[in-house]
Chain A
């Protein structure tokens, strides 16, 4: 097992507020692939955000390899997001002032896991792998939605 959640809750607003997620329990084993489905507004994104260390739960635990992620210091949590979590957001999430190659290289640059030269080389290779070799230096505003 690599991921387990226990009694996850997320409440927005003071007092009674709005409970987006209520008592969510999840076990994810290594190599497992799951889909979280539900109608619009049912709390899927909120649940994923809590599991992915993007938003702190109001209650409950998220255990990654047996460690409660929300009790980790902020620096360690940031490192976890950089090295062990990957997100593809519903709407494209690129930094508009950076080129495609800068956006792809950014996580490696932030995590300082490799030199800038290697990070850019890897970014170029990744973009070539998905057929965007001609768009390496384009800005997000110059690219189509599909790109």
Chain B
């Protein structure tokens, strides 16, 4: 049937499956490209958080010295800095989750509709996958803060109270 219809001049047959396969391959490559970019971005963020918290800790030498003079243990000083860093980056992660979800919704309502018209349906991942991705993002966000601030916190924990 395809062969017969294909003989009609000015008519091109586009089967659903090859389009679907091509789209999937393209999206797969795009996914790995984004993954590599995201990995490099995370490394850069880690470096940035370390620099930032080195500066923050230096600004707060007086406060830290006061806490040490009051009898704060080195571990307590570290905990204060790491918890603060984790909370700040977690808040950033939460904002990022919201933004990411908005972008996916926007995609579903624009390009998603276009792909659907070509026979490539936009399928949401299962709920558990979405929740897992969200949880993993939050863990990464908090982790970036804690790991990034670790070196400045380690250095300052033994700061002399004077």
Please tell me if the beta carbons of B66 and A81 are within 8 angstroms of each other in the complex.
no
Interface residues of A in 40-95 (CB under 8 A from B): 49, 53-56, 74-75, 78-83, 85, 87, 93, 95
Q: Could you list 11 further interchain pairs (A-B, Cβ under 8 angstroms) beyond the known A53-B161, A82-B71, A93-B69?
A: A54-B68, A55-B161, A56-B160, A74-B74, A74-B158, A75-B73, A78-B73, A81-B71, A85-B71, A95-B63, A106-B67
Residue of A whose beta carbon sits closest to that of B157 = A74
**Is A1 part of the binding interface, using a Cβ–Cβ cutoff of 8 Å?**
no
Q: B68 to chain A: which residues have CB within 8 Å?
A: 54, 78, 81
**Is B162 part of the binding interface, using a Cβ–Cβ cutoff of 8 Å?**
yes
Interface size class of A (residues with CB under 8 A): 20 to 34
Interface residues of B in 48-88 (CB under 8 A from A): 63, 66-74, 76
Tally of A-B residue pairs with Cβ under 8 A?
52
Please tell me if the beta carbons of A78 and B71 are within 8 angstroms of each other in the complex.
yes
11 A-B pairs in the complex with CB atoms less than 8 angstroms apart? A54-B162, A78-B74, A79-B71, A80-B71, A81-B68, A85-B71, A93-B66, A95-B63, A95-B66, A95-B67, A106-B70
Please tell me if the beta carbons of B70 and A82 are within 8 angstroms of each other in the complex.
yes
A78 to B160, CA, bound (A): 11
Please tell me if the beta carbons of B73 and A107 are within 8 angstroms of each other in the complex.
no
Please tell me if the beta carbons of A81 and B161 are within 8 angstroms of each other in the complex.
yes
Q: A49 to chain B: which residues have CB within 8 Å?
A: 161-162
Q: Count B interface residues, CB 8 Å.
A: 15
Tell me whether chain A's interface is mostly helix, strand or loop, or mixed.
helix
Q: B161 to chain A: which residues have CB within 8 Å?
A: 49, 53-55, 81
Residue of B whose beta carbon sits closest to that of A46 = B162
**Is A131 part of the binding interface, using a Cβ–Cβ cutoff of 8 Å?**
no
The smallest C-beta distance from B27 to any residue of chain A, in angstroms, reads 48
A53 to B66, CA, bound (A): 13
Known: A49-B162, A54-B160, A55-B160. A107 touches B70 (CB 8 A): yes
Residue of B whose beta carbon sits closest to that of A48 = B162
Q: B69 to chain A: which residues have CB within 8 Å?
A: 54, 81, 87, 93
Please tell me if the beta carbons of B160 and A110 are within 8 angstroms of each other in the complex.
no
Known: A54-B160, A55-B162. A110 touches B72 (CB 8 A): yes
A85 to B74, CA, bound (A): 17
Q: B63 to chain A: which residues have CB within 8 Å?
A: 95
Partner of A110, one of B76, B158, B162: B76
